């Protein structure tokens, strides 16, 4: 049998899709479910091979039921995946390099100041997944990002210090926003802010920076994972990656860059 170029293209595309799906699900609740379903499929095949009809019938019902349950239970993950699929096709940066560098500097100064004073804070950097649902429940600001404003928001005497701020590009969209808490097993020393940071990163692709008021520790949550105790160099890398690297990740942008010879 001779493989046509269409067959090779089919194999490559399907392989890439499966790889991206597994990469997206890795470390999430849905990934554990996928492993469970694969095990059930394997057991079902074994039951059919051995002629165990009752077991095979039962396992097939479980598999059929799972296709109804999965969209309901994992709605946040599915929503995030679709948003990433759509956002990944055409993504463009709206900030100039000079403006981006200015915002990075403002955020860096604000976060390091919060760390030094052990002032609790949670800052969500919006990416492809819209945070409008959380923004609507907070206090809308739509203000320019500045270190002074961020420090005033998280001042313990400020009425906005509870909850987190949502930032998109060069705007602080809202403050006093409350995010879903993660139900994962975490260090008992970590408080509500850290659970909220991880929780938001589980249901969206937002990057979330947390400052602990107990230890003055800066942590970073992404894709349901928490990186603790960032030093200043690591913090700056996170901010620079958000404002510079992400602007060039869209598939259409990559194509346009290639056509321009960049």
Q: What is the pLDDT of residues 196-216, one digit of tens each?
A: 999 999 888 899 999 999 888
Residue 24 pLDDT grade (very low, low, confident, very high; cuts 50, 70, 90): low
**Strand, helix or coil for residue 4:** coil
Same domain, 13 and 103: no
Residues 146 and 64 in one domain: no
Residue 104 lies in a domain: yes
- Do 13 and 110 have their domain in common? no
**Domain match, 61 and 110 both:** no
Shared domain for 43 and 144, answered yes or no, is: no
- Tell whether 256 is covered by a domain: no
Q: How many domains does the chain have?
A: 2
Residue at 80 is within a domain: no
- Does residue 205 lie within any of the structural domains? yes
* Pair 146, 228 in one domain: yes
Q: Answer yes or no: are the C-beta atoms of 47 and 59 closer than 8 Å.
A: yes
> Domain check: are 102 and 184 in the same one?
yes
- Each residue of 68-118: pLDDT tens digit? 777 776 666 666 566 555 555 444 445 667 888 899 999 999 999 999 999
Q: How far is CA 156 from CA 11, 218, 243, 262, in A?
A: 57, 18, 28, 48
In a domain, 159, yes or no: yes
Half-sphere exposure of 172 (CA within 13 A, CB side): 26
On whether both 109 and 188 belong to a single domain, the answer is yes
Residues 107 and 215 in one domain: yes
Q: What does the block give as tokens for 169?
A: 């590009």
List the CATH number of the domain containing 131.
3.40.1700.10
Higher-confidence position of 186 and 90: 186
Domain boundary residue among 73, 108, 128? 73
Q: Partners of 175 in the beta sheet?
A: 139
Check whether residue 140 and residue 232 sit in a common domain: yes
Q: Pick from 19, 40, 73: which residue ends a domain?
A: 73
Q: Whole-prediction pTM value?
A: 0.65
What is the span of the domain harbouring residue 137? 97-248
User: Same structural domain for residues 48 and 131?
Assistant: no
Angstrom distance (rounded) from CA 174 to CA 113: 21
Is there a single domain that holds both residue 134 and residue 219?
yes
Output the pLDDT for position 74: 66
Whole-angstrom distance between the N-terminal and C-terminal Cα of the chain? 41
Q: Indicate the residue among 73, 89, 121 that finishes a domain.
A: 73
């Amino acid at each position: 049998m001779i493989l046509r170029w269409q067959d090779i293209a089919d194999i490559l595309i399907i392989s890439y899709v499966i790889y991206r799906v597994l990469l997206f699900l890795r470390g999430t609740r849905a990934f554990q479910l996928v492993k469970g379903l694969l095990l059930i499929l394997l057991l079902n095949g074994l039951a059919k091979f051995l002629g165990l009809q009752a077991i095979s019938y039962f396992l097939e019902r479980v598999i059929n039921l799972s296709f109804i349950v999965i969209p309901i239970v994992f709605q946040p993950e599915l929503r995030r995946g679709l948003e990433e699929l759509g956002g990944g096709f055409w993504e463009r940066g709206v900030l100039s390099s000079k403006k981006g560098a200015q915002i990075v500097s403002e955020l860096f100064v604000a976060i390091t100041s919060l760390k030094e004073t052990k002032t609790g804070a949670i800052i969500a950097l919006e990416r492809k997944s819209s945070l409008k649902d959380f923004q609507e429940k907070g206090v809308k600001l739509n203000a320019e990002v500045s270190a002074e404003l961020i420090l005033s928001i998280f001042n313990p005497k400020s009425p906005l210090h509870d909850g987190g701020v949502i930032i998109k590009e060069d705007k602080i969209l809202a403050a006093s926003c409350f995010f879903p808490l993660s139900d994962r097993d975490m260090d008992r020393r970590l408080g509500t802010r850290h659970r909220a940071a991880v929780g938001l990163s589980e249901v969206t692709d937002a990057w979330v920076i947390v400052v602990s008021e107990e230890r003055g520790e800066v942590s970073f949550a992404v894709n349901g994972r928490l990186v603790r105790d960032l030093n200043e160099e690591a913090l700056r890398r996170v901010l620079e990656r958000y404002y510079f690297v992400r602007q060039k990740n869209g598939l259409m942008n990559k194509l346009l860059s290639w056509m321009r010879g960049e």
